[in-house]
Amino acid sequence: MSGMNDLRTRRQEMEQIVEARQRELGPDHPALADDLRDLGRLAHELGDFTDAEALLRRAFALHAMAFGEQHPETATDLNHIGLILHDLGDLDAAHNMFERALAIDEATQGSEHPSVGRDANNLAGVLRDMGDGFSAREALDWALSIYMNAYGSEHPTTKSVARNRSLLG
């Protein structure tokens, strides 16, 4: 329970930071985007999916305004929105978010970048839940290859993806 209390405390602190920055910079300043993303992730961890999605969509809008929609920062926002939609059971919408994030990251960072591995891993989870085990295995194989090359076999992320892959047979 103390973990949840710690998260709630961090969320309250982050809300105060965002409010102060909004007063200082205005509500649509691009510098708020990263703070909004962090706040959205905390809300998601606390199970407040509606608030988390709204915060992350706002972060996406601000990042898109600052960098354009085809930027790694917007891909990260889309990825986090996809995780929320997946948790809510909206698999089609989550699939679309992960596909968009993957396309942006692959185009801007290359097909072997760890962000592409993250996107492929998250896409695989939705594909699995949609009943497409073949495509899920392909996405996990890709993610695993990326993480093995980037981090090696003993890295926690590599191990997590390998575990996900082993569960699909």
Q: Decide if 79 is inside a domain.
A: no
Looking at the structure, do residues 56 and 104 belong to the same domain, yes or no?
Answer: no
Is a pLDDT exceeding 80 seen at residue 2? no
Domain range enclosing 35 = 1-68
Is a pLDDT exceeding 70 seen at residue 1? no
Residue 117, token pair as written in the block: 């591995």
CA distance readout (Å), 36 to 19, 108, 128: 10, 23, 30
Looking at the structure, do residues 52 and 103 belong to the same domain, yes or no?
Answer: no
- So what's the pLDDT on residue 18? 93
What's the pLDDT tens digit per position in 52-75? 999 999 999 999 999 999 999 999
What is the mean predicted confidence (pLDDT) over 137-156?
97
Task: Report the C-alpha gap between 140 and 125 in whole angstroms.
Answer: 9
CATH for 105: 1.25.40.10
Looking at the structure, do residues 58 and 99 belong to the same domain, yes or no?
Answer: no
Mean pLDDT of the chain: 95
> How many domains is the chain partitioned into structurally?
2
Q: What is the pTM of this model?
A: 0.92
Write down the residue that tokens 């105060």 correspond to. 16
